[in-house]
Structure 1
Amino acid sequence: MTVREETQALERQTMSPYAMLSADTKGRKEPEEECELRTPFQRDRDRIIHCKSFRRLKHKTQVFLSPEGDHYRTRLTHTLEVSQIARTIARALHLNEDLTEAVALGHDLGHTPFGHAGERALNAIVPQGFRHYEQSVRVVDKLEKEGRGLNLTYEVRNGILCHTCGMEAETLEGKIIRWADRIAYMNHDIDDAIRAGVLREPDIPKEITAVLGDSKTRRITALIRSVVENSRDGTIRMDEVTYQAYQALDAFLYESVYLNEYAKKEEKKVPHIIRSLFTYFENPDHLPDYLKRIAEKEGKEMAACDYVAGMTDHYAVECYKSLFIPKAWNLGDI
């Protein structure tokens, strides 16, 4: 037996009957020879970690645009926190940790610069609309590796597509990501808001802290415990009391942080930057070669959307400056 076959035999012996076994994957769009060492889901995880889009996440905003300081979350640190939470839940439920991790690491690859402000801006411009979870699948299918894509398994792609809203993932491992994503962003957004001075821990209503606890560690533990303790029968859910507290905390954050004028003061600049870049890159002559091919096949709007959505915050700002802000010059140059 190869190492992969030994791993797959161990999966069958030790995992929950509700787990997605790597040997039972629906496979890839383009069939490939199996790896001797790694299962298909392990290979997908590795492909995501090594792709360009994953590396760009370190320079994409989570909540606070262009924060000063080294300790604010980026889209990359958010992704790693989601992965950690998701793997904890998957391990406790004896589900497939490799599949869970692959979906977690790939779930935000299609996110725009400037966080959800960038997503809203692109959604208002692009004829077919823009949703980051769909773009994340597009990244792994069509945009990575100069247009060749990563050729991931069906289950990983399905988990990425279904991680936010709408239809649920077909595997429990994919369903875990939706909960892990919520648990992660809720708690690190509180942490960042406190660091930014727009929120204090005592500001959180007592009826919420009475259920979830009065610190980041206690909240994360309470939410994860609720998912684990209520998901042993082939569903992924929280108990009703914890879920109501979660919803109340989400509503509190929406009013206190996500709509906070100080925290969001830079966001009003985002639509103009995104629209200006999109309009410029609608000209295929301004695009890289692999995106020119997309412009020919799927239209210039799709290609421009792909390019702008893939930008980091810093690159988008520098690109805007280069294209639309006059450069300094002196008379000695002419």
Structure 2
Amino acid sequence: MTVCEMTQRIERETLSPHASLSEESRGRRVPAPEDGIRTPYARDRDRILHCKSFRRLKHKTQVFLSPQGDHYRTRLTHTLEVSQIARTIARGLRLNEDLTEAIALGHDLGHTPFGHAGERTLNELAPFGYKHYLQSVRVVERLEKEGRGLNLTFETKNGIACHTRGKDACTLEGRVVRFADKIAYINHDIEDAITAGILEENELPYDCVAVLGRGKNPRITTMVRSLLENSGEDIRMGPEVYRAFDALHRFMYQVVYTNSAAKKEEGKACELVALLYGHLVKHPEKMPDFYRQIARDEGAERAAVDYISGMTDGYAVTAFERIFVPRSWRLEDSL
């Protein structure tokens, strides 16, 4: 019996009847031989962890654009926090941790530079719209590894596609990640907002604090415990905790996510993305070879969206400067 087969036997014997067994996966788009060590979902996790798009997340905005400080979240640290919370929930419910972690690590691979500001801009400009969760699937199916993609299992891709809104994922593991994403960002955004000086802990709604607790750790513990106590054939919080969570979410939108101090640079970011998009659609030859081929196969709009959405914040600024900002004249330029 191989290591993989032993792991799958343990899954059968120990996981919940509602868990996704790796041996029952609907498989990959391109069939691939197993390696005898890792289950299909563990291989998905590893493929995501080692891909270029995952590494670029460390230089993509979460909420605060280019914050001056070492402790603000980036898209990468957010992803890791989502993964940790999701695995804790999955373990408590005896679901498949490998699948849960794979979905969590891959859920934001398609996020634009400059956070949701970049996403809104591309959604307004691209004729086919733009949703980061769908782009995340395109990254793992089409864009990674120079067009070969990561060839992930159906269940991992479905969880990534359904992690934000719309219909629920077909697995409980995918539904866990949807909750973990919300739990992570609402709590770390509070912490970052306090660090930035635009919010104080005592300004949080009293009714929410009374139910969820004061401080990041107590709030996360309350939400996770509520999910563990109320989930079964589906993933759900208890009514009281969910109402408090929902109210806290609305408060954050009013006070932080639309705060002028936190968002003062968003207009510039949106204009930068819009100008890049317009230029690249008109001049697809300015893109790298891989994206020029996408332009030939699927159109310049599609190629521009793929190229821009994969940029880090810094790369986008550099690309903008290279295209639109005049260089200082030097003698050797005229030779």
TM-score, normalized by length of structure 2?
0.98
Provide the secondary structure at the position in 2 that maps to 1:69. Answer: coil
Q: CA deviation at 1:206?
A: 1.0
> Is contact 1:121–1:270 with CA below 8 Å preserved after alignment?
no
Q: CA deviation at 1:331?
A: 6.5
Quote the RMSD (CA, aligned, Å): 1.0
The answer on 1:239 being equivalent to 2:238 is: yes
Whole-Å separation in 2 of the counterparts to 1:292 and 1:330: 31
> Is contact 1:41–1:99 with CA below 8 Å preserved after alignment?
yes
Provide the secondary structure at the position in 2 that maps to 1:264. Answer: coil
Whole-Å separation in 2 of the counterparts to 1:278 and 1:107: 24
Partner of 2:147: 147
The answer on 1:87 being equivalent to 2:87 is: yes
Partner of 1:227: 227
The answer on 1:251 being equivalent to 2:250 is: yes
Residue by residue over 1:126-179, the C-alpha shift from the partner in whole angstroms, topping out at 9 and shown as x without a partner, is: 000000000000000000000110000000000000000001100000000110
Partner of 2:65: 65
Partner of 2:41: 41
Q: Aligned pair in 2 of structure 1 residues 121, 16: CA closer, same or farther (>3 Å)? A: same
Whole-Å separation in 1 of the counterparts to 2:272 and 2:256: 23
TM-score, normalized by length of structure 1?
0.98
The answer on 1:265 being equivalent to 2:259 is: no
Q: CA deviation at 1:29?
A: 0.3
Partner of 1:18: 18
> Is contact 1:59–1:74 with CA below 8 Å preserved after alignment?
yes
Whole-Å separation in 2 of the counterparts to 1:329 and 1:284: 27
The answer on 1:32 being equivalent to 2:32 is: yes
Structure 1 ranges of 4+ moved more than 3 A: 330-334
Whole-Å separation in 1 of the counterparts to 2:161 and 2:321: 34
Partner of 2:307: 307
Provide the secondary structure at the position in 2 that maps to 1:164. Answer: coil
Partner of 1:9: 9
Residue by residue over 1:87-112, the C-alpha shift from the partner in whole angstroms, topping out at 9 and shown as x without a partner, is: 00000000000000000000000000
Whole-Å separation in 1 of the counterparts to 2:184 and 2:270: 27
Whole-Å separation in 1 of the counterparts to 2:331 and 2:102: 56
Whole-Å separation in 1 of the counterparts to 2:86 and 2:267: 34
Provide the secondary structure at the position in 2 that maps to 1:31. Answer: coil
Whole-Å separation in 2 of the counterparts to 1:32 and 1:105: 22
Q: Aligned pair in 2 of structure 1 residues 34, 259: CA closer, same or farther (>3 Å)? A: same
The answer on 1:125 being equivalent to 2:139 is: no
Structure 2 counterpart of 1:91, which letter?
A: R
Gaps of 5+ in 2: none
Whole-Å separation in 1 of the counterparts to 2:183 and 2:332: 58
Provide the secondary structure at the position in 2 that maps to 1:219. Answer: helix
Q: CA deviation at 1:292?
A: 1.9
